[in-house]
Amino acid sequence: MVHRPHSKASELSKDLQTRLRSQRRMACQLACAGAIFYAERMFSRQPYHTSVLTGHMWVHELLHGNPRRIKDQLGMEKHLFWQLVRKLFTLTQAGHTHHVDLDEQVAIFLYIMVTNLSNRKVGEHFQRSGDTISK
């Protein structure tokens, strides 16, 4: 039996294969980590708006509470608020959407005008998404 020494080309080939295996393993680990990160964000989501007082309930509280409070919060008295809601309904055919009543929509608009808060802050106050607030 004759012992042949390994050629330099053979050693380079083995080194290259080892590096390629290592790179493939690293790419697989990165892909798995990315998939786990994505799955955790999508499947273990926690609700953001969790207050017991919804926007509709807050508007109801304003309309049936102390008359000064609605003026402070929405910038107008209760009878003017109702007149505005009726005018909007009769002149523009605006109405309730699937999720938000017209009186709450008007209250959101007025609250933004009075407070100059961002959509995010108003969304938190009314327990609505930023998309709903910006409509």
For the question of whether the overall pTM of this predicted structure is more than 0.85, the answer is: no
Which has the closest alpha carbon to 131: 26, 49, 20?
A: 49
Q: What is the rounded CA–CA span in Å between residue 29 and residue 46?
A: 27
pLDDT score for 107: 94
Instruction: Extract the tokens encoding 125.
Output: 């106050």
Q: pLDDT of 66-121, one tens digit each?
A: 999 999 999 999 999 999 999 998 888 777 777 889 999 999 999 999 999 998 89
Residue 12 clears pLDDT 80, i.e. is over it: no
% of the chain residues with pLDDT over 70: 86
Q: What is the rounded CA–CA span in Å between residue 112 and residue 91?
A: 23
Q: How many CB atoms lie within 10 A of CB 80?
A: 13
pLDDT score for 5: 57
